[in-house]
Chains A and B, each alone.
Chain A
């Protein structure tokens, strides 16, 4: 009897781990954009949703092979990210002096504008595609919901795909950030936008590149998770967006590895919480962690020291 219980518990941990990876996929793009612009992009959840819808449309009308599907979604995410940057962030970067780059009003106006854009995009999607959940075509959905037995543990093939995607995305991002020219300029702008400009970095182009990379990753996460969960709906970005947000804050706001670790930790602790409490109360866990982190570790668990929080 005890070993049955244990295997069930381990199964829960595995499921929690894969939920955590879902949060991590969203959190990577989120954190990248925060690290550079020092603003929170509230529309990231909507990019994720756009990725899922772009993928769904491609599946219905083109039925492309897997690689082509991912490329289409990546392209859609990049386009959406660049448009988002143009609409919600560019207008507020016309002031370039140090005082306004650091000013509170500046940061909060981009926060509000990205919030407004996210509302517009979500509601427009609802008007166009309807608010209800749309199922994924069966042929594709089945491929990600194939159960694979490892010993007594059942793992869906989608969970492995998400694990793979998270690893690939994380490594790609680390490669881009630390081994390429654009990564160097991203890190330079993140460290000091004005200084980067003085040494000849094109700040505008760097910011757009950051948005393109972060949003492309968000969109791919959206279609993978939509396929794995089997349904897609306009509000799908909200819950993972908030959880990714929590993971980002816990991880220290500009540390990508920290965000990934915290996202996985969050997923696992939610799964453990469902073990002991009703499903509804388990939502409390993420917010509890958020508030506790902000109060006791204001710089996050893995963050470097910052001036003030």
Chain B
């Protein structure tokens, strides 16, 4: 069997190619261009890739339409900002702590709202997201309000200076790769199958013996953890956080990335993030059309490519070909 043959490879060729592109080619190109702008663009794209990946887990795989994801991301950013400016903690502590705070907040938000389905859940997350934004904006003594928090120290874990553009890029790239692996393992496994069952018909999944509410809360917590990490990276690489960066429009941007890339597909999330961030930048000469482009691309995608640029089915068959891992119970991988 071909499948058995392919599964012997520890590292599938595609993963090696992707890793080479992200860790060698892009940094090489960026260093040759030696432009702070391009480095910044690459780092922001990676951060939004993490966000899109986490959104993919909630919206694409588990089928929960969340309209408040940017607020969770904002909580992560503010946690990192406050911990590092007030308490002087290093990024090695602030990044996981931000993830933890966001994840716990995710659980707290998920507990009461998980009984809601489809549009009602979307509306509830919209409301919760705006509540978090209003809190960030108005709790001036704690969050500095609309002024935002500045002077967040750059990445210097354990005294190793990673604040240069190339080092920062590589650091963020490593975390993005880890996030991609986490999301991949959550999707392409029996766990992912359970989530898809919940997405397709939660009453049926419930009748089959899956603990639907628990699954939803778990996946929401994982996604919020990743969003919090992305927020901490944003805070440390930007050096400044402001409530305006974590509003409804940002949630929509993340959602659009997932929709354009293809709901339920891991590579799709990254493709979507890259497309929706880089395309508007490429069109900068035309004028400030960033959000308009997001709207147009999202609309055309929903209309003509309802499965997205790289949809779930193609993502699954790609994973099957590359990893050759269907029906391997001992490795916990499979999607039938």
Contacting pair B292 A124 (CB below 8 A): yes
Interface 0/1 of B286-303, CB less than 8 Å to A? 010101101110110011
Q: Taking the nearest CB of chain B, how far is it from the CB of A253, in angstroms?
A: 9
Contacting pair B120 A309 (CB below 8 A): yes
Asked if A132 lies at the interface with its beta carbon under 8 angstroms from chain B, I say: no
Interface of B is mostly: helix
Q: Which of A73-81, A151-159, A176-184, A288-296 lies at the binding interface?
A: A288-296
Among residues 92 to 127 in chain A, which have CB atoms less than 8 Å away from a CB atom of chain B? 104, 107-109, 111-113, 115-120, 123-124, 127
Contacting pair A117 B116 (CB below 8 A): no
Quick one: given A115-B252, A278-B138, are A309 and B116 in contact (CB under 8 Å)? yes
Cβ-neighbour of B138 out of A108, A109, A281 (below 8 A):
A281
Cβ-neighbour of A280 out of B112, B134, B298, B303 (below 8 A):
B134
* A-B pairs with beta carbons under 8 A, tally: 102
Contacting pair B298 A112 (CB below 8 A): yes
B118 / chain A contacts, CB cutoff of 8 Å: 104, 107-108
CA distance A120 to B292 in the complex (A): 5
Contacting pair A119 B294 (CB below 8 A): yes
Interface of A is mostly: helix
Contacting pair A284 B299 (CB below 8 A): no
Asked if B214 lies at the interface with its beta carbon under 8 angstroms from chain A, I say: no
Quick one: given A109-B302, A278-B138, A283-B134, are A119 and B292 in contact (CB under 8 Å)? yes
CA distance A246 to B124 in the complex (A): 10
A196 / chain B contacts, CB cutoff of 8 Å: none
Among residues 270 to 309 in chain A, which have CB atoms less than 8 Å away from a CB atom of chain B? 278, 280-281, 283-284, 287-288, 290-291, 294-295, 298, 308-309
Closest residue on chain A to residue B297 by CB atoms: A116
CA distance A28 to B258 in the complex (A): 32
B120 / chain A contacts, CB cutoff of 8 Å: 249, 294, 298, 309
B303 / chain A contacts, CB cutoff of 8 Å: 91, 113
Asked if A40 lies at the interface with its beta carbon under 8 angstroms from chain B, I say: yes
Cβ-neighbour of A109 out of B117, B131, B306 (below 8 A):
B306
Asked if A242 lies at the interface with its beta carbon under 8 angstroms from chain B, I say: yes
A245 / chain B contacts, CB cutoff of 8 Å: 123
Contacting pair B123 A249 (CB below 8 A): yes
Interface 0/1 of B134-158, CB less than 8 Å to A? 1101100000000000000000000
Contacting pair B130 A117 (CB below 8 A): no
B116 / chain A contacts, CB cutoff of 8 Å: 294, 298, 309
Cβ-neighbour of A290 out of B119, B124, B135 (below 8 A):
B124
CA distance A132 to B292 in the complex (A): 17
Contacting pair B137 A120 (CB below 8 A): no
Among residues 269 to 320 in chain B, which have CB atoms less than 8 Å away from a CB atom of chain A? 287, 289, 291-292, 294-296, 298-299, 302-303, 306
Among residues 59 to 107 in chain B, which have CB atoms less than 8 Å away from a CB atom of chain A? 63, 65
Contacting pair B131 A288 (CB below 8 A): yes
Quick one: given A40-B119, A108-B65, A283-B134, are A120 and B128 in contact (CB under 8 Å)? no
Q: Taking the nearest CB of chain A, how far is it from the CB of B148, in angstroms?
A: 15
CA distance A117 to B256 in the complex (A): 12
In the assembled complex, 10 residue pairs joining A and B whose CB atoms fall closer than 8 Å, in A order, are A113-B299, A117-B299, A123-B291, A246-B127, A281-B138, A284-B131, A290-B127, A294-B123, A295-B113, A298-B116
